Structure 1
Amino acid sequence: MDKRDIKLGDVLYWNTTGAYKTNISLQCEVIDIGEMWIWVHVNGCLAYNNFLPENLSIKPLYKVTNKKKVSK
């Protein structure tokens, strides 16, 4: 993903490896854009993570395991 296409507040997906080497996608929200790193809040996690743009995508590549629930 090109860093110039990423904006604060964007909902993106971190495509990674989960338990037992399964491929998963985690939904996250962009909270800061640095010179090198993209800082995101991964939904359902208390911590913040930093990624290179190539670790993120607009659409999930695998099953999303932490989709944010929308209240009615």
Structure 2
Amino acid sequence: IALGVLARKLGPYRRAVMFFSKQLDEASKVWPRCLRAVAAVVMNVQEARKFTLGQNYCANKTNCNSCISAYARF
């Protein structure tokens, strides 16, 4: 499942504007956990584009640094 939160920066804080979730497709369900996380981020960015109307945004993914460093050496 790809979970996402679209947040807006308001002063020093980020305020949630929208929550969404989608089921990953059958092909990506057999991928390793780290690749599924990347697929979820891509799905969330595609969904956020519908609502940002050309504004700049930043995609943040928590708990993924160890996954990326594990695949970075290949």
Q: Same fold (TM over 0.5)?
A: no
Bigger-Rg structure (1/2):
2
Structure-1-length-normalised TM-score: 0.28
Question: Which of the two has greater strand per residue?
Answer: 1
**Structure ranking higher in helix proportion:** 2
TM-score when normalising by structure 2: 0.28
Structure number with greater CO (CA < 8 Å, separation at least 6) is 1
